[in-house]
Structure 1
């Protein structure tokens, strides 16, 4: 473990001015956040009902009616507030800030006298507080409230929301813990743990860190488990009886967390838990927690992650399955799970300083996180397949969880605001700093003010990545501060050289996936110029990934590509990539708002001679063709149609059917 944790600059010090990312961030600020606010208030007629704000009004006794929605419906508002807070750090919006202040006041009025805050139990089961930790999501909901309040305080300086969640956190600390008379248990859905660490870092009140550590330590360590004991209590009932068959591995309580060597169970829960383990491991200098994190990360990325940076293969339990079980047409790959993977990766990088973690964060962000939203900002995916045939999805109910197109809102709406908070908080991923080193983690054009131990430097990044690999980093250092620049060298390529403004090569040392310059007093306006090779590559999967046997995926830089029916017609399963053929990137201004397509030589299996037959001896006739692939993150923005990431591949073909 590094003695000094890397930190991200404040979001207010990061300005993103990037062709690829700015359009998404602008979309969130100008369209997505206002749209989601309307949905939360049930003012979008053709979207699924939310009732989120109305629930708070009922809990505050300012409206009448029944609770509506999932037991964790409050978190939709919390994540919206967190996303808005990050957005306000980058660009003020008085109208949305006013709406945020109003909903924060409403949340405060819905809070109970002892600090308890959860509209489901306040309205639906006022005597059922903390009675079903496995399914009730009270601590999960509290965690998202705390995260939102911390972000809002940092963005605006207003402390009303922060005071609300401190009362909530105090209520939790008074209710849970090892002391006699308290509840000796942990939540079924992790989230409170990482939130309490955030609150500790903001307030420096150690009881919040201790509470987070308690929840981690007790998970999977009890015999009998509190989850078993609570089911014996009078009046207990299942909130989600359809998940009753799932074991404790689905909530990561099957064994103590330090003994968990393989990612298991519900993917989002797991990755929120691992994120908290990384946070607590650092703050408490607990190497056993960090060792577990390293092992779990390597297991996920080595045997359980899809090429698009998504995780969680199974719909039943939204969970990890066994190693190399990575199906393409019925995988789950929840958007929130990729958000959580990016969160975990960033935390591990900040502790370890190893570029492999940022490689994975980049993959998740550029592919599945972005793919979870439409280019108009008002339609969303919960599940992210790698292969779609719409007719099959509509006819085969075993594929009911996979949608052929995004929806305007979702009955379980965790993903839309999770995407929003990730994109408005993107600045947390781009740069990191310690006392004397500036780290450039992601190649995103923009500017940043960085506070090192001896003073402040300003950095500017110019690039058209991921469409072009040229990068120029300019550092203004008018105070004459000695510093080192550390630039991530992606694990999938190699940077040939770095040159200065004068054209001379800059001496660098390679360490853990980063190129480090020497620590020195650089000129007042130093330039560091290099290129990330972005040649399209046909990638294959491990031989044990049965779903991808004999297939290849097109990858260029951080972007995974796919074929769509809009460009290549139907029956994409008949396409065979030519491994020895031409494959070239072409930027097309009129394609999906401007993006780089990849054109590749291929064959298509002919249907000639198949009339009236379903099976016959192998006598395939292949017809030469050229296919167009587009970034996976942009699929399904031109209407419903087939899509495929993994394609059959061969190097040579000789027609022997004549």
Structure 2
């Protein structure tokens, strides 16, 4: 197998970034303890999890069966649907041998363990490690003799396991177990959890595959595919990689396994991305999170097998998502019906689903697309999703969460319009279906994995975050230190410390939002070389002595990266200058919901209007495209010392009164001048409840 490009692990990158350092600290100090309480059902007024309780029940039931007890077989055809408005689930009776919550509840603990593992990589915490070890002991007690681990079937009826791959989530939960196990081993060197994951993986390999006598199914909710690849990369067991490939390529083939499983001839398989073989799929359809995880897995396989057909599919689907079905915030999945993709260019702002997990999945996929082929557009999308639709999913204090991320909100509509049942004007303490909160924790906790990637003697800087990265060129250690003040200013410097004068290439990303840019390179002698944009396709910078070239650099620009080939240099400082100013963006005219509207963007951040700053009835606000050229910054104390918003002149349309007729003859409109105040989208709903909108009408 090729193995291909790869991302770094945390121990090779030290985070030294003000913005993301604060987010990681929040995960460690506030989010992980809070979520631990939520998983144990100890958050007052929050939806119940039942997660830890189910593991304790499974361990107890497992022990009883090992002692020879005969327990009643419980029905396994139930699935707790997401209650409208996230209503509280029924309270459980303590001490009974019943499963409570959703069929995928196990995964919340696995994601929490993975997030905690990343935290341990950053900073040791004996108490946290002890808590995880206790949970690992509990997981071992809940594991069946052959390695099977899923509390839903272990509690209810083990004989029925793998009988409903389409709707139940055994393989999905296994995927999160495997991800957590690898992360915890990387953090601590402890093998107990990894051993449990391998036992379960070996059982799945034994039961599933193309061979006669094996189950010819695949996961209903994808995730096992990329988890198996990660487990393969860690263990070297090719059976895991082969099973991942089988799951991807078997999906959607005829006879369709899901239709056969449920005896249905005409059911719509698009929700499961199983409407046709993966190699034939032309557009992103169905449940958005499932799709993101499938596409991440197939891209992993394209890298590992150097598979041109899978690579073609990945690029085709990427183009469909990012050019026709993605919100300006990086959110994906427009409709609440099936938490799914809608048709091309259907991107309503007020009813957007844009699940937090889907944005996280898009980040996962973008990372893998960079491994497949380093292109700036993949990092651009990764950055856009991270700073906007991902971070909006968590409150600034880390204790409240959004499941969906609309681009326009009216609190009255949230409460009174059943069509907007899924839209909230305030974040929730927790969810009965709590896939998003621990997913946020594991992504933010592992943020250093997204900064850079490396292959052979080339290192790509994908995201500009303050960090120190150590890698090898020609087998010799080099250190790459980045300083950055994003997302509020574009002051950036990249320093290469190369004491062995190893030859290698440093590729720095030129962000798509930088309409103008320049780069200065300072060599070890202090000579500053400006990159000549007129000749940026290929140019050489030389330091010469006695008429002979002794050291230097050559550079070229391609596909969103500036490649600097460095030789004979112990120290190099690269100073990119990116024009970063607030600008108005318009949507493609085929997006009918955004007709004659504009969105304010500055660098990686999308901005929004909140009622607390701009008053209610925000649909009456207008701006001219030129007004943004006079934008001024203003401080946002609630958001942090360096955070800034933008303010500039706009208009408010004269409003009718309740005594006016519902319809009237069209007349010339009247406007009042106002000052529009914009804040980063990710920070909305952290102050007073009120309206919010990303898009403003153009005047």
The TM-score, its normalising length taken from structure 1, stands at 0.94
After TM superposition, the structure 1 = structure 2 runs for residues 23-34 of structure 1, keeping only pairs within 5 Å, are: 23-34=22-33
Counterpart in 1 of 2:162?
130
CA contact (8 A) 1:335 1:384 kept: yes
After TM superposition, the structure 1 = structure 2 runs for residues 645-656 of structure 1, keeping only pairs within 5 Å, are: 645-650=694-699
Alignment match of 2:299 (pick from 278, 290, 310): 278
The alpha-carbon deviation at position 285 of structure 1 amounts to 2.0
The alpha-carbon deviation at position 611 of structure 1 amounts to 4.6
- Structure 1, residues 468-499: CA drift from partner, whole Å, max 9, x if none? 11211111111221122110001222422323
Distance 1:97 1:75, change over 3 A: same
The alpha-carbon deviation at position 589 of structure 1 amounts to 5.0
After TM superposition, the structure 1 = structure 2 runs for residues 322-337 of structure 1, keeping only pairs within 5 Å, are: 322-337=343-358
Alignment match of 1:505 (pick from 530, 534, 549): 530
- Structure 1, residues 87-109: CA drift from partner, whole Å, max 9, x if none? 11111111111111110111111
CA distance in 2, matches of 1:284, 1:59: 39
The alpha-carbon deviation at position 525 of structure 1 amounts to 2.8
Alignment match of 2:257 (pick from 223, 226, 229): 226
Counterpart in 1 of 2:48?
49
CA distance in 2, matches of 1:584, 1:19: 25
The alpha-carbon deviation at position 572 of structure 1 amounts to 0.8
Counterpart in 2 of 1:354?
375
SS in 2 for 1:561: strand
CA contact (8 A) 2:503 2:565 kept: no
After TM superposition, the structure 1 = structure 2 runs for residues 186-585 of structure 1, keeping only pairs within 5 Å, are: 186-223=218-255, 225-232=256-263, 247-493=268-514, 494-500=516-522, 502-506=527-531, 508-522=555-569, 524-581=570-627, 582-585=629-632
After TM superposition, the structure 1 = structure 2 runs for residues 80-229 of structure 1, keeping only pairs within 5 Å, are: 80-223=112-255, 225-229=256-260
- Structure 1, residues 133-160: CA drift from partner, whole Å, max 9, x if none? 1001110111110111011111111110
The alpha-carbon deviation at position 366 of structure 1 amounts to 0.4
Counterpart in 2 of 1:654?
none
CA distance in 2, matches of 1:472, 1:621: 49
CA distance in 1, matches of 2:316, 2:200: 34
Counterpart in 2 of 1:593?
640
The alpha-carbon deviation at position 587 of structure 1 amounts to 4.8
CA contact (8 A) 1:577 1:600 kept: no
CA contact (8 A) 2:634 2:647 kept: no
Counterpart in 2 of 1:613?
661
The alpha-carbon deviation at position 232 of structure 1 amounts to 4.2
CA contact (8 A) 1:374 1:406 kept: yes
CA contact (8 A) 1:483 1:521 kept: no
| Aligned-residue CA RMSD (Å) | 1.8
The alpha-carbon deviation at position 566 of structure 1 amounts to 1.0
SS in 2 for 1:283: helix
Counterpart in 1 of 2:678?
629
The alpha-carbon deviation at position 118 of structure 1 amounts to 0.2
Counterpart in 1 of 2:36?
37
CA distance in 1, matches of 2:500, 2:409: 56
Aligned pairs, how many? Answer: 637
- Structure 1, residues 129-185: CA drift from partner, whole Å, max 9, x if none? 011010011101111101110111111111100100000001101111122221111
Counterpart in 2 of 1:241?
none
The alpha-carbon deviation at position 380 of structure 1 amounts to 0.2
CA distance in 2, matches of 1:488, 1:68: 48
- Structure 1, residues 345-391: CA drift from partner, whole Å, max 9, x if none? 11011110111111110010000110000000010000100000001
CA contact (8 A) 2:14 2:467 kept: yes
CA distance in 2, matches of 1:609, 1:231: 56
The alpha-carbon deviation at position 625 of structure 1 amounts to 1.3
Distance 1:170 1:464, change over 3 A: same
Counterpart in 1 of 2:91?
none
CA contact (8 A) 1:4 1:434 kept: no
SS in 1 for 2:517: coil
Distance 1:201 1:445, change over 3 A: same
SS in 1 for 2:248: helix
CA distance in 2, matches of 1:648, 1:246: 41
The TM-score, its normalising length taken from structure 2, stands at 0.89
CA distance in 2, matches of 1:596, 1:374: 18
